[in-house]
Amino acid sequence: MKNRLNLPDEVASIQDLTSLILEIREYIKWFSHNAILERVSKKRTTKPIALSPSATKLLQEWEKLQPITTRSLDELLDTLNIYRNNAPTLSITLAAPVTNDIKQTLISWSRKNIAPNVMVTFGFNATILGGMVVHLGSRIFDWSFRRQILASRQNFAEVLRRV
């Protein structure tokens, strides 16, 4: 992959990336159709298709790397498919549903510190009581309150007796 493409932070999971790929495919069909119409008749073109903000942002970023042509759009699609097939996946479980601010912060941090194309999925499980559990590949990092309480059962029971 010769071009360095940064995915928008709104594209967090494999599902988001797959939706973006489908949207870019539709845009490529429209772009190719319009290119043919322009060659045949300068006056006849169709309206651009509606794109999501993340697809628009991605196309703007791609245009900074190289001019938009049918060939470059095919290369963009190939790049996105490579990302989808090779991207590391990070799963974060919190004690409550994640807010958009926290989600964007965690995605940005992950892309800066782990990998620029990391895919992040979020879940919630109230039984962890607080903190978070992170799955990256075969590794699990458990920073939940539940684990801390279970790890120090003796101390926790003693604290409760004193109350």
Query: Residue 155: is it exposed, middle or buried by C-beta count within 10 angstroms (0-12/13-18/19+)?
Result: exposed
Share of the chain above pLDDT 90, in %: 67
What average pLDDT does range 20-27 have in this prediction? 97
CB contact at 8 A, 114 and 148: no
**127 CB-near residues (< 8 Å, 6+ apart):** 146
DSSP 105: H
- Cα–Cα distance between 55 and 10 in angstroms, integer? 10
Tell me what the pLDDT averaged over the chain comes to.
90
In this prediction, residue 71 carries a pLDDT of: 95
What average pLDDT does range 79-101 have in this prediction? 94
pTM for the model stands at: 0.78
| pLDDT level of residue 89 (50, 70, 90 thresholds) | very high
124 forms beta bridges with 94
In this prediction, residue 1 carries a pLDDT of: 42
CB contact at 8 A, 10 and 23: no
CB contact at 8 A, 149 and 156: yes
In this prediction, residue 117 carries a pLDDT of: 87
Residue 144 identity:
S
